Structure 1
Amino acid sequence: MDRRSFLTTSAVGGAAAAAGTLAAPAYAQGKRTLTMVTTWGRGLAGVFDAAQRVADSITDMTDGELTVEIKAAGELVGAFEVFDAVTSGQADMYHGADYYFVGQHPSYAFYTAVPFGMTAQELANWYYHDGGMELHDQLGGIFGLKSFLAGNTGAQAGGWFNSEIKSAEDFNGLKFRMPGLGGKALGKLGASVQNIPGAEVYQALSSGAIDGTEWIGPWADEKAGFQEITKIYYTSGFHEPGAGLSVATNRDVFESLSPAHQKVIEIACAECHQWNLAQFLSENGAALQRLQAGGVKTLEFPDDVWDAFGKASAEVHEENMGDSIYKETYESVMASMKASSEWLTKSEGAYRSQRDRVLG
């Protein structure tokens, strides 16, 4: 029995067991309240904003017929417990980064980011036009979820370090926070990789529990206060070149909604994907200038470190190729990314280079 058959069979059994305990969404005078749990601490810059945007859009577009009540990480369940909360019916939907759930299936990484993967635009191309949404739906269906992209951070920074990285050997023994498959790649370089919820990262870095961390980019990182702890900041990373965020609704709950309300959720998520990406990109430039003015040293990893990232990342991908779902998704992503990248490089890439040259 292959992985797909095993997971499908398991999910059917799990769904049957959970059916008797599924908590029905709250009703009041013909209106319905859906509970959204999140992987984000309340107020975390950009990411919690995305969850709030989706919730508000659903409420507004249905004239309050659907109201989404947000529970931040820790308010109903922990940040990394939202997947189980929604599949079991304890909550109706979650907003989060799907790569937190690679333990459920490694293919979930593709809907946030994989090392040396897609930029934000390439992710959107694949998701909306090259089969990504359909694959997300198939994967979610195994676990009783209906999933959509619902936010994007854009390219994420390489992270904050207590000392400079001069060679790949400097990762050996380094205690570093990085989720997803990027974290698994760092582990191959000898790092002690930590998966810590966003709201807890500042304390872990300031206490010395970790030696470094990636989070998102200049704006969100500045809001988190990492510049108060260290001044060494690598501005380009291999692990999240365009990180998507997702909403997943319990599939029984989703299918109990009217077609109009189902479409509202889909559209609210798609609108948030673009809105959130623009939010991050519009904020990051000014935030980077403030960080640099405050003494933060911005650096890039040496080429040999990038080479080590690439080798380790390839090993991580190869280890998952025995899973038919992962292999199908990887091949779909790579085909779409190659086609998108070639045109973007020859058009926008060439234009940006010439614009910088002409305008100085």
Structure 2
Amino acid sequence: MKRRQFLQVAGTGAAVSAVAMPAVAQSNPEVKWRLASSFPKSLDTIYGGAEVMAKMVSDLTDGKFQIQVFAAGEIVPALQAADAVSNNTVEMCHTVSYYYVGKDPTFAVAASVPFGLNARQQNAWLFQGGGNELFNEFYKKFNIYGLPCGNTGAQMGGWFRKEIKSVADINGLKMRIGGIAGSVLQKLGLVPQQIGGGDIYPALEKGTIDGAEWVGPYDDEKLGFSKVAPYYYYPGFWEGGPCVHAFVNLEKWNALPKAYQAALTAACTYANTQMAAKYDVQNPAALKRLVGAGTQLRPFPQDVMEASLKASNELYAEISAKNADFKKAIDSMVAFRGDQYLWWQVAELTFDIFQVRNRGK
């Protein structure tokens, strides 16, 4: 091919490309959504998960699909985010499914239940073990579509104004605790309180509640709980690896172009990974600071753990007897957990135990 002919062909190809690229972009509409978060802006990791997701959606769609994030209380209260999505007040929210156990206890299993799964296992069950499909069939009843969009990892057991030395000390305590865990501990005499993250500190300070759990050292330090409740307990056996969800109005989800559905799914999966990673980075340093400042770190007594496990199994059986959706979900989780911990016992646990024992070497 002569040089002049080559340049003409190359120029024609470049022109076609220049025309074709905008044409493809123009085939997708501009979409602007509002997202109601269940979290305050001060909690940059868990609230920030929605911002990470929204930015990724924008990047993947050349700015055509925009999601504006609103903190808890800016549009609706923290614990009404899913309602706002269901009734199309907003197109989307970022929340924890177990906040809505009052509607149906099945919501809890999608996020975390006492003595459930750790973070990796929860992700494995949802993404590869049929969990997402199971829950989205359930969520249809509420006109929402769910996407995993964050995980905190194993949480702490919470802050208490007085020391807990045995299961007897649980009786009569008023505690802020989310999800189905409150019903479990109610069997031990605890009085559960469902309170949004931003309202926990004043309730603890005034003595309206005796204890509170939130997430872990990084968030708890920001919320200042150590100033009003000196005893910090672990583990949060009700949240071994809780999933934070993005809920989308089902009609709005179905109306999205396939490319936008893919972009939103990918962005939520990315945010899911980033949230867990950030907590794993931030929690160790925060725990050191808290203990250094006088926080009294304590493990839950063994009888509290044993009594709570017994109460959990009793509650699951009671709910399963009258709620087919819950039974389907909890049975799936329990079966998955059994196989997972068979593997964990062989590889992950033995490795971790050895590493913890030799941490200083």
Q: CA deviation at 1:182?
A: 0.6
- 1:338 is aligned to 338
Q: What percentage of residue pairs aligned between the two structures are identical?
A: 35
Query: 1:146 deviation in Å?
Result: 1.1
- 2:97 maps to 98
Contact 1:159 / 1:234 at 8 angstroms: preserved in 2?
yes
Deviation at residue 292 of structure 1 after TM alignment: 0.7
Q: What secondary structure sits across from 2:270 in the alignment?
A: helix
Partner of 1:118: 117
- Cα offset, 1:30, TM superposition: 4.4
Question: Aligned equivalents of 1:355 and 1:209: distance in 2?
Answer: 42
Distance in 2 (alpha carbons) for counterparts of 1:355 and 1:211: 36
Gaps of 5+ in 2: 1-27
CA contact (8 A) 2:204 2:229 kept: no
Structure 1 unpaired stretches of 5+: 1-28
TM-score (norm 2): 0.89
For residues 65 and 81 of structure 2, the distance between their equivalents in structure 1, rounded to whole angstroms, comes to 21
* Amino acid in structure 1 at the alignment position of 2:313: A
1:33/1:150 Cα in 2 relative to 1: closer, same or farther (>3 Å)?
same
Match of 2:329 in 1: 329
2:85 matches 1:86: yes
Structure-1 separation of matches of 2:236 and 2:358 = 28
The C-alpha deviation readout for 1:14-55, integer Å capped at 9, x for no partner, is xxxxxxxxxxxxxxx942210101111223242101121111
Q: Name the residue aligned to 2:354.
A: 354
Which deviations, in whole Å up to 9, do the C-alpha atoms of 1:178-201 show, x marking residues without a partner?
011111111111111100001111
Q: Which residue of 2 aligns with 1:234?
A: 233
User: Which SS does the other structure have where 1:246 is aligned?
Assistant: strand
- 1: CA distance, partners of 2:84 / 2:154: 29
Report the secondary structure of 2:47's partner residue.
helix
Larger Rg: 2
The answer to whether structure 1 residue 65 and structure 2 residue 61 are counterparts is no
Deviation at 1:341, TM superposition (A): 1.5
Distance 1:45 1:217 in 2: 13
Q: CA deviation at 1:235?
A: 2.5
CA distance in 2, matches of 1:221, 1:163: 18
1:47 match: secondary structure: coil
Q: Closer, same or farther in 2 for the Cα pair 1:355/1:191, shift >3 Å?
A: closer
Give me the whole-angstrom Cα distance separating, in 2, the residues matched to 1:237 and 1:165.
Answer: 14
Deviation at 1:116, TM superposition (A): 0.6
- Counterparts of residues 92-171 of structure 1 (less than 5 Å): 92-171=91-170
Q: Measure the CA separation in 2 of the matches of 1:122 and 1:296.
A: 31
Contact 1:122 1:341 in 2 (8 A): no
Letter of the aligned partner of 1:266 in structure 2? T
Question: After superposition, where does 1:1-360 map in structure 2 within 5 Å?
Answer: 30-321=29-320, 322-358=322-358, 360=361
Name the counterpart of 1:3: none
Please tell me whether the aligned partners of residues 82 and 95 of structure 2 are also in contact (alpha carbons under 8 angstroms). no
Query: CA 1:188–1:45 in structure 2 vs 1: closer, same or farther (change >3 Å)?
Result: farther
Q: Root-mean-square deviation (CA), in Å?
A: 1.3
TM-score, normalising length from structure 1?
A: 0.90
Q: Deviations over 1:240-298 (max 9, x none)?
A: 11111000110111111100000111111111111111111111111111111101110
- Distance in 1 (CA, whole Å) between partners of 2:335 and 2:131 is 11
Stretch deviating more after TM superposition (311-320 or 84-93) = 311-320
- Name the count of aligned residue pairs: 332
